Structure 1
Amino acid sequence: MAPGGSACKEVLESRQTFSDYDTAKVKSESNSNSTHKKTSSGLGGKYGINSKSSVHALLECPVCKNLMYPPIHQCPNGHTLCSKCKIGMHNRCPTCHYDLGNIRCLALEKVAESLEIPCRYQNVGCPDIFPYYSKLKHEQNCRFRPYNCPYAGSECSVVGDIPTLVAHLKDDHRVDMHIGSSFNHRYVKSNPHEVENATWMLTVFHCFGRHFCLHFEAFQLGMAPVYMAFLRFMGDDNEAKKFNYSLEVGANGRKLIWQGIPRSIRDSHRKVRDSQDGLIIQRNLALYFSGGDRQELKLRITGRIWKED
């Protein structure tokens, strides 16, 4: 188990288991979009090779190297700069060091309207090109954009496609990897009153040709310490909705059951947790399920994943 998970031991018993620019304000966009084939995002991309132009280089900010969007600023000598770097450079031109003032490079902004730019995720499979001012909007929803690492135990900055992240979770975070659509987990914690310490776990399941992340953790819900189990789908939301899952925990003649749709890892771990979209167990009830003298957490959570027809 990865660092941070040592506070909680798991025994698995498997049953085989952008710019501030408002793109809507660009009048030429509606005309330009009419000549483009619709993509899956519905944002007017065109399959093909973008037109080459040295003007593309002129639209690159000399400081951050990103493409510039209105307002594009220029100094009295004609050197251009994006609005964010203008603030960062304390209103001084990085090229000639003149004061920038508030001069807009309207000509360059106008020229940009006629350009076609490939999606930034072209190198990982996106074949589309877009009018200059539609590119950012497309990239926010591009199906080829990488995923963030779903590991919740640390601030992991790794991004990539699903195979890359599965290998990363296994090799770098040392999470448990299991095959099967049903599971039977037993979570044990010697001191259940230490909610602030890292009492969370992550297990990756592979079934139906897809990967799922099962989370289990403790946190404060208001003033009440709770335990929560929930499932995330390693893929986009439209695919996640094809699946359902159930979780069940109980003992001594009592039982809690949760059924839901796994959330895509496009939604951050904290967003899912804070939405309480999962099986939530109050600590007192969790200790009651654990039996004994209530000084040790011993929870058995069973569940299964199935695909909707």
Structure 2
Amino acid sequence: MASGNPFFDDMQSKPEVIDLTQNEDIVDCESVDGPIQPAIKPNVTVSSNVRELLECPVCLNAMYPPIHQCSNGHTLCSGCKPRVHNRCPTCRHELGNIRCLALEKVAASLELPCTYQSFGCIGVYPYYSKLKHESQCSYRPYSCPYAGSECTVIGDIPHLVAHLKDDHKVDMHNGCTFNHRYVKSNPHEVENATWMLTVFSCFGQYFCLHFEAFQLGISPVYIAFLRFMGDDNEAKNYSYSLEVGGNGRKMIWQGVPRSIRDSHRKVRDSFDGLLIQRNMALFFSGGDRKELKLRVTGRIWREQ
């Protein structure tokens, strides 16, 4: 039944859902030759009222096409539509497949500063490319690399180094070589606990050395790996080696430190480090094989 409003009728007659992965002209403003360059417009501001219009009432995040609306004009993002079981969270009317084309056009006309402006990013970006920029922004803060707790602290590298030292009481060392010994009276008792985190300062950078025991299937496994406190493109400028042994045998691992942008769990679960099965660890420990005594040595160097 026609409403008498041709614009509204047009919206109702086209229950279109846009797949953002196939609609690059809307979300991806990257050119063929490379990423877009930010417009340096520090004085550009957007009314808080406009920002509120583009905020989803359910998840409170910025809305991107398709932006849905109910017959009363209340809007919400496409991600939250199934969460509310196709009912408007504001008036409880059925949502249907009506898109708010006017609000999508308003969003397309906006330019907003990067969320990480307070961390030093001065770029201003079109609304539909801002999200992609922020996922790659070199100024975005890092998460705390400490793995022994669910720490939610974020910040730049100097802030995290101070946080690790003061709040987590992590050992801090200067130099590019290390020699650590781990002793456990009963190596059969493994509870996914972090052994140790040590921070090394060398080449003007910071590195996190992790030692950990975790359960792989039914067997305990021991792993040591290094993470770089910085981005991945910088981490690739360094290499490191780890060595463990005993009874005239040894194992050596050589690799590239992973950025702390990769979570501790992601690195551990990819086995990107020195991995020691329990039987081999007990063999290295010597004695009656009832006590774990592992000595892990290593060094960090810069690639030319």
TM-score strictly above 0.5: yes
- Deviation, structure 1 residue 179: 1.3
Aligned match for 2:95, one of 92, 100, 105: 100
- RCO greater where, 1 or 2, for CA within 8 Å and sep 6 or more? 1
For residues 243-262 of structure 1, the aligned pairs below 5 Å read 243-262=238-257
- Contact 1:26–1:133 under 8 Å retained in 2: no
- The CA distance in 2 between the partners of 1:135 and 1:24, in whole Å, is 18
Cross-structure match for 2:214: 219
- Deviation, structure 1 residue 237: 0.4
- Contact 1:29–1:131 under 8 Å retained in 2: no
Cross-structure match for 1:47: 40
- The CA distance in 1 between the partners of 2:117 and 2:293, in whole Å, is 49
Worse overlay, 124-133 or 229-238 = 124-133
- The CA distance in 2 between the partners of 1:149 and 1:264, in whole Å, is 12
Cross-structure match for 1:173: 168
- Contact 2:147–2:194 under 8 Å retained in 1: no
Cross-structure match for 1:7: none
- Contact 1:203–1:215 under 8 Å retained in 2: yes
- Deviation, structure 1 residue 245: 0.7
Question: Percent of counterpart pairs with the same letter?
Answer: 73
- Contact 1:50–1:129 under 8 Å retained in 2: no
Q: Which amino acid aligns with 1:138?
A: H
Aligned match for 2:152, one of 150, 153, 157: 157
- Contact 1:23–1:134 under 8 Å retained in 2: no
- Contact 1:186–1:300 under 8 Å retained in 2: yes
Secondary structure in structure 1 of the residue aligned to 2:164: helix
| TM-score, normalising length: structure 2 | 0.84
Cross-structure match for 1:15: none
- The CA distance in 1 between the partners of 2:75 and 2:194, in whole Å, is 51
For residues 268-287 of structure 1, the aligned pairs below 5 Å read 268-287=263-282
- The CA distance in 2 between the partners of 1:199 and 1:160, in whole Å, is 23
Describe the shift of the 1:241–1:78 C-alpha distance in structure 2 as closer, same or farther (beyond 3 A).
same
Q: Which amino acid aligns with 1:239?
A: E
Secondary structure in structure 2 of the residue aligned to 1:73: strand
Cross-structure match for 1:71: 66
Cross-structure match for 2:113: 118
- Contact 2:258–2:267 under 8 Å retained in 1: yes
Worse overlay, 232-241 or 45-54 = 45-54
Cross-structure match for 1:25: 23
Describe the shift of the 1:262–1:197 C-alpha distance in structure 2 as closer, same or farther (beyond 3 A).
closer
- Deviation, structure 1 residue 303: 0.8
- Deviation, structure 1 residue 89: 4.6
Aligned match for 1:139, one of 131, 134, 138: 134
Secondary structure in structure 2 of the residue aligned to 1:27: helix
Describe the shift of the 1:53–1:164 C-alpha distance in structure 2 as closer, same or farther (beyond 3 A).
closer
- The CA distance in 1 between the partners of 2:217 and 2:86, in whole Å, is 45
- The CA distance in 2 between the partners of 1:186 and 1:121, in whole Å, is 41
Q: Which amino acid aligns with 1:267?
A: D
Worse overlay, 128-137 or 59-68 = 59-68
- Deviation, structure 1 residue 231: 0.5
- Contact 2:192–2:214 under 8 Å retained in 1: no
CA RMSD of aligned residues (A): 2.5
Cross-structure match for 1:265: 260
Worse overlay, 67-76 or 176-185 = 67-76
- The CA distance in 2 between the partners of 1:21 and 1:139, in whole Å, is 21
| TM-score, normalising length: structure 1 | 0.82
Unmatched segments (≥5 aa) in structure 2: 1-17
